[in-house]
Every structure is written in C-alpha cells, then in structure tokens.
Amino acid sequence: MDRIVIRGKQPLSGTIPVSGAKNSALKLMAASLLTEGELLLENMPRLADTRFMAHLLAHLGVKAEEQSGNRLSLTAANLTGTTAPYDLVRKMRATFNVLGPLLAREGKAKVSLPGGCAIGARPVDLHLKAMEALGAKITLEEGYVLADAPAGGLKGGHIVFPFVSVGATEHAMLAAVLAKGTSKLENCAREPEIEDLANCLNAMGAKVSGAGTGTITIEGVPVLNATVWPVVADRIETGTYAMAAAAAGGDVTLTGMVPAHNQALWADLREAGVMVEEGDTSVRIVRDGPLKAVDMQTAPYPGFPTDLQAQFMALMCLAEGASVIRETIFENRFMHAPELTRLGARIDVRGNEAVVRGPAPLKGAPVMATDLRASVSLVIAGLAAEGETIVSRVYHLDRGFERLEEKLSACGADIRREKEEA
C-alpha cells in the first residue's frame, strides 16, 4: 500500500493543468450503454474510479480501450448481459447508474444495491422512483434491484425530486432519453456535470433541454448515435489546487478549466485575503500575506461544494480568527477533523458544524485518509506544516486525483509517493 510523504513550508509557483471531471466522466461512461456506436471521450481522467467503471462496463459487454491523449473509446455494440453483480458495484456508488441505461435499451436490468458510504447514508430511493415514473416495474430481491420496462419500452413521465440530488437527476436523464414521449424532471440538480452529460447526450442525438436549471425536459428518441465528447474540467480538482496554493503560499495558475464553475469558492478565497485572477480558461491564485477566517456553508450548486469542504477546513486552520463551517449535504463528513488536529489544528465539531480557530502552528505527523476529499485536505495541511507529514491509505486519493504528486512537485512542493513499511 502506498503513502504520501510531504515536507512542508515550500511556497508553490508555476502552472497546474486541470484534468477532466471524475464526477462527469463516470456518468458519461454509463451513457455508452445507450448506443451501439462508439462513444469516444476526450480529456478523460485516469483514475481508480474510472478504471473500476470500465471494468463493470466490460463485464456487460462494452469494449473499452484507452487511447493516447487521455482518450477512452467505449463501444456497446454487443452487450453480453444486463446484470451488474455486487462485487462490481459495492466499491463505488456511481456504478449503480448503469441500471437506467440498461433498462432503457434492453428493457431489463439487475443491479446490486451499492454498498455503504463512509460519509453517511446516500439512499437510492429517488433513483428507483424515477424509473417507476417512466413505467418500470421495480422489485428488490436479495440485495439486488430487478427492473423491467413495460411492453414497448419506457414511457415519458413526470418526475419531481423531493430534494435536489445530482445522482438521481443524472440517472433519470440516462433512462428518459430513450423513453417514448416527453419526460419532465423538476427540482433537478444544476451542477456543471449535469450540463456536461446533457450536452453529450444531445451530441449523440438525444433531445434534452433545460440542463443547468431546476427543470429538465427530455423528448425521447428511438436510438442514439456515436459521438466524440470532451469531459468538462474538474471543478473540484480546480478548487483543491487553488486551496493548496493558498495554504502553501505563492503564485499558481490553473489552466484548462472553467472559472465560472467555482464562483462560491472564489468569493470565499477573496474574503480570506487570497488574490483570485480569473481568465477565460484559467485562474491565477496568489497568497503572500496572512489569511483571514471566513464562515462557510455547503450547498447545492451554485453554492459551496460539499466536495471542497474538507480542503477549505484545512485552509481555515491557517487563518487568523475563528471560522464556522456548516455541512448541509452529508452527515459524517467531518472525519478529517481529528486527523487535522494531529497536525496541530484547533477544531471543535458539534453535529453538522465545525469551529476552526487559527492560525494554528501546524507540524508534520503521520495521518490517515478516511475518504477521497478528506485525504487531499491532509495533503493541503501537510504543504503548510513544519516538518514531515505522512498520509497513509492514499488509495482514497487515487480515486479522484490524477498525478497529484507530479502536479504539485512541478510547482515546487516537496512531495513524494512511497510504499508503506510492512
């Protein structure tokens, strides 16, 4: 098993290219099940999660080929089955989203319920209710979802989500594009990844309108076609490296991204005393003075992303004053707080609120990653800490960050990966 070793107090300077978005790439990969033609995804991140999804798709008969230039070719001309077994679904919730495309194209699917999640309960009830609204018959049997479309296939339906859910919105879209008639989805998530999926589906011949707003309308089509699609830049990776630069100090430019996708973060960073200079497809982050404490609350897009909460907490450990961080999306998402305190952070967690008092004189220590976003918050803290920080269980990091050590090292960070001692 690998670990990351960081020697802190090295200012960052240089350029970091932003990779394609993991959260978009996984759903775009599931969309390959909807067509017999080739779906060629460009700007594909090379991650543990995308490899795992490719493994599941291959089990279903999809031909997946990595190509040079971060491209992935997916061809589902000859599906060999409609069952996604537990062993291939339990490790990652996004794999559950193959159910909708299989149901839409093949008329049936058998998909294992996803496993538990370290950051709290994330039920799939909304996903299943969306499928039922399109006419599917859903039964649960021995930990599996058995879904059957009515004779003649799925039919357009009216879906009102009781609360905003990115995964359920995307899943409903993936099923409705091949349903007969018109589907109307209300109280939809508005994330950029939703728009990316809709635009890709439209390039394949779908008729999706309203993505990025609260109401999405889909006119079903009989078939979808081959297309080439570039995965949107990862706004979570963008925000992560922006906060790494702010924590370590220095001058870093992030390239190949969409500044508009992180407006909530930019506002908070500016309030904290960080210079944020937006370009068309780049953003420059400069921090050469003290940080100021800023209160923050996570919220659905365009609010502050829950996937950047841990990173922001690490940054606030260095700020002058007390900042209150409220997590409104997931429970149990402060598991990084005890590990940050091992580095010297002063954090008081009460329910869904954490009070961070700084500036804390962080000092390197061995710490353990608990989930994907928590793991990178420890890297950020390590960049600012005095001495050596060792982050173990970095397989969490590999799920969502491509070439992290290489990108940070290129900007002057003293960071390396090594095998953990037996």
Instruction: Give me the count of residues in the chain.
Output: 422
| Bond before 302 cis per omega within 30 degrees | yes
Per-residue pLDDT reduced to its tens digit, 331-384:
778 999 999 999 999 999 999 999 999 999 999 999 998 888 788 999 999 999
Whose tokens are 């909807």? That residue is: 34
117 catalytic per annotation? yes
- Structure tokens that stand for 358 in this block: 């700084």
Q: What pLDDT digit, counting tens, does each position of 195-216 carry?
A: 999 999 999 999 999 999 999 9
Residue 346 annotated as part of some ligand binding site? no
Quick one: pLDDT band at residue 92, thresholds 50, 70, 90? confident
- d(C-alpha 318, C-alpha 358), whole Å: 6
Q: What is the pLDDT of residue 116?
A: 46
- 122 carries a ligand binding annotation: yes
Q: Are 202 and 64 contained in the same domain?
A: yes
Same domain, yes or no: 11 and 27: no
Q: Are residues 323 and 222 in the same domain?
A: no
The one-character DSSP state at 114 is P
Does the annotation list 262 as a binding residue? Answer: no
* Same domain flag for 268 and 314: yes
C-alpha to C-alpha distance for 76 and 35, rounded to whole angstroms: 6
pTM of the full predicted structure? 0.96
Residues 121 and 256 in one domain: no
Does residue 35 sit in the same domain as residue 80? yes
Residues 177 and 244 grouped into a single domain: no
For residue 304, give its domain range: 2-18+233-419
One domain for residues 47 and 9: no
Quote the Cα angle for 10-378-322, to 5°.
90
Is 124 a known ligand-binding residue? yes
* pLDDT value of residue 64: 97
Q: What is the mean pLDDT of residues 39-50?
A: 96
Of 207, 230, 253, which closes a domain? 230
8 A C-beta contact, residue 382 and residue 2: no
Q: Give yes or no: residues 6 and 52 share one domain.
A: no
pLDDT in tens, 235-253: 999 999 999 999 999 999 9
| Residue 105 assigned to a binding site | no
Of 181, 202, 230, the last residue of a domain is: 230
Q: What is the DSSP letter of 214?
A: S
Same domain, 37 and 170: yes
CA 71 to each of CA 26, 29, 334, 398, 407: distance values in angstroms, whole numbers, following the listed order: 14, 12, 35, 19, 20
C-alpha to C-alpha distance for 11 and 100, rounded to whole angstroms = 47
Q: Is 123 annotated as a binding residue?
A: yes
Number of separate domains in the chain: 2
> Which helix H or strand E contains 56, and what residues bound it?
helix 48-59
Residue 142, SS3 per DSSP: coil
pLDDT for residue 91 is more than 70: yes
Confidence of residue 122 (pLDDT cuts 50, 70, 90): low
Residue 125 marked ligand-binding: yes
Under a CB-based contact definition with an 8 Å cutoff, are residues 186 and 133 in contact?
no
Helix 309-316 vs helix 372-384: angle between axes, to the nearest 10 degrees?
A: 20
Tell me the backbone φ, ψ of residue 323, rounded to 5 degrees.
-115, 140
The letter for the amino acid at 370 is T
- Dump pLDDT digits (tens) for 260-285: 999 999 999 999 999 999 999 999 99
Residue at a domain's end among 213, 230, 247: 230
Q: What CATH number does the domain containing 239 carry? A: 3.65.10.10
* pLDDT for res 119: 37
Are both 336 and 390 inside the same structural domain?
Answer: yes
| Mean pLDDT in residue range 99-121 | 81
292-344 per-position pLDDT tens digit: 999 999 999 999 999 999 999 999 999 999 999 999 998 778 999 999 999 99
Same domain, 157 and 196: yes
Q: For residues 33 and 21, what is the distance between their CA atoms, to the nearest angstrom?
A: 20
The predicted-structure confidence for 387-400, as pLDDT tens digits, reads as follows 999 999 998 899 99
Task: Name the active-site residue from 117, 188, 317, 411.
Answer: 117
pLDDT(120) > 90: no
